[in-house]
Structure 1
Amino acid sequence: MKPRHFLQGLRYVYNVKDDRGRGRFCMLMSGIMAGLVGQLSGGLFYTSFLLSYGLDVKDIGILTFMPYLACLLNIFSPWVLEHFRKRKVILVVSKLTANFINIVGITLLPTLIHDHKLLIICFVILTFTASCINQLFASGFSAWNANFLPDNVRVDYFNTSSCINSAITFSITLLVSFIGDSLRDTPNELFMLTLIRYIAFALAVVDCLIWLVPKEYPYAITAKAKLSNVFTLPFKNRRFLGTILIAASYTFVSNLPNATLNVYVDKIGVSYTLCNGINATYFLFFIFFSAMWKKFISKHYWFRAFGLVLFLQAATYFAYSFVTADTIWLYVVVRFAQHIMGVVVNTIMASLPYVNLPDEDRTNYLAFHTILANLSAFLSMMLGTAFTGLMGDYTLNIFGLGFSSTQILLFSCATGQVLVGLFALSSNKKLTPPELLANPHI
């Protein structure tokens, strides 16, 4: 993508003089803040923070998938939210509360509780509580944001926002990583990790304040607020249901290794700087490859494009399963290859909930999507953690190569992505709107 075209796209998508353009700009700024919060309070920094207090790979795995268990509370989200004609304030307060518990609460907990077993239990309770609050109100943000993402700007928004978000988020995270690596395995490491978490909370406060700016539109509601609508309405819309099943299937297979992957990466000696340095280059791949992938999506539409790309991405996860302490170079190659695939995969995954989304009762439909996505991630991570616990330190010897539990899960993830790709391709004709099927490439 040429810089001139990129800048023109920015002016078009983020026109702050227009209510919807201003809404997209606020979504962009919130995404940057949320990205920084996620990187500074999660990932390798969070893993190292927990390891500093004696948690092992199984404990960290449980804490990683526990938030997804709270997705069941999303059933009540439409019933609660549709009692409010204006939701802005309650959404902002809920987001701030969840971040306070998840960041400040977890950071302070080890200084208050010194019994190891009780500490783990309290970690789980706080993580689950914050996730419950988030899940109860998450679909409210999605229904609100849907007004800012009509078809004519959706791809441009997700391409440009992802590019800008990753450029700023990972550049700042990279700077923090240099400091982190300089203090790693020193008496000051825990102080540094704690300070990073407090900085993350300050950014979370800014994120919440941003959401006081965008305009809130009336919410179209045709069905009376009932808990059952979350499940009954999506099953009456086959195109939406099929779309969400594809997204949930991908979420399941892609999360198989994620509960323990950061621990494995830390164990084989990947530094904060290398890990976050590779992540920091993500925005460059958006600049250079987003135009190509945009044409690819326009040519094949969402489902065929998704299926074809997953075949390519599966190869990167297969290669990932061979990364060890002796093949860090392969880690670098794999992560850069995943950046190329990630440009299109992330764009498609972010867009799928909106592809066949009806104009009415959106809170119910998006709540169903959120529940299914989080339940898929929870079951996947729980399975991955259980598998890791059963294998322990045992390695499976194949053709003279030893494979740990995480490596086997990465291989399983690659196989699963091939299957999801076939699922998307076979569903293409059924889920693509009829008016688009005249395109011979779809």
Structure 2
Amino acid sequence: MELKRVVVTGMGALTPVGNTVDEYWNGLINGVSGAVPVTLFDAAKFKTRFACEVKDFDPTRYLDKKDSRKIDRFAQFALVVSDEALADAGLNADNINPDRVGVVWGSGIGGLITFQNEVMEFAKGDGTPRFSPFFIPKMILDIAAGHISMRHNLRGPNFAVVSACASSTNAIIEAANLIKLGKADIIVSGGSEAVISEAGLGGFNAMKAMSERNDDPATASRPYDKDRDGFVMGEAGGALILESLDHALARGARIICEIAGGGATADAHHITAPHPEGLGARNVMLAALEDAGMQPSDIDYINTHGTSTPLGDVAEVKAILDVFGEHAYNLNISATKSMTGHCLGAAGVIEAIAAIKAVVHDMVPPTINHFTDDPELDPRLNFTFNQSQQRTVRAALSNTFGFGGHNACVIVKKFQG
């Protein structure tokens, strides 16, 4: 069976540094930090009191006010970015076969805010069960994919993927595979996450996973810096329109780039810590290269997982050196989480969008907030510190790793007919 080629024909983004794809990209290449003191709730008593929030988001700009109350923030994000992506691709009810268009969506946690608020309200009462009839439909992970399909009458494959912080990368890979196999012509894929709440912030604080640099939030996310002290929580949504090349050409679509391949592995090591030698990260990059039929020397840029944690950054760099060898010193490497924070299940798709824009514009976004070199990291590597860099980017690789040892990697490349 001849596998179909998969291309990207539309994108949508809602991030801490921009509420559209163009705004997001401008924020990245200009090194803008999205970290601010928390405004979504009173964080005064928390160890960490800042996060990378989406700014100026009003769901009623995009959704009916009554309907917006029935949809958790993470699913609201999903609807906004899928609308943008479908419009960007020039798709609407008049030019698609709804039975051949699907949705594959990722989220690491889903409707945590809804879950928290419903349980807190119950705990305040006398034990009488009074829950919203929308409690469960707002909370469940798959509801974002369901809402997208209902909003646009998309009747193809429809499901959710959950693999912690690798969720939306896994969703992109699964969507691409469906198209390769001819199971759909178009898939709306990506992910969304919105867990900046008492439960979200408190839970990650209890794990001692997050930065506590409350005096200077904008510089708190410091991937590869000697003084990094943990990740900064973010929230976001991102969507890609994946389409078979044949279908895109037949309708005269603008082709943004090609999905070259993807890989998925497990560390099988620890519930939260990465394999110390980066074994799972090494294997997932090799799997993606094999799937793409590419050599390490074909890659020009890596958007790393790069969360700003002491162990994770070192392990990923070890894996890159193992996979790429001497070519590693020809690569640009950057961690856009230095600007967006760690958007958990949505991290993969917004970082894939950053990689795609790097390929399209031959521009690598920076790793901001670098102040002190880490002696554990090879100084010959180009981490694209503090300023974006212009260079030819033929192909880019994007890494995401999640709690539980889940690893996912996607490779995007310039489209050539």
TM-score, scaled relative to structure 1: 0.28
Larger strand percent: 2
When Rg is computed on C-alpha atoms for both structures, the one with the higher figure is: 1
Where relative contact order (Cα < 8 A, 6+ residues apart) is larger, the structure is 1
TM-score, scaled relative to structure 2: 0.29
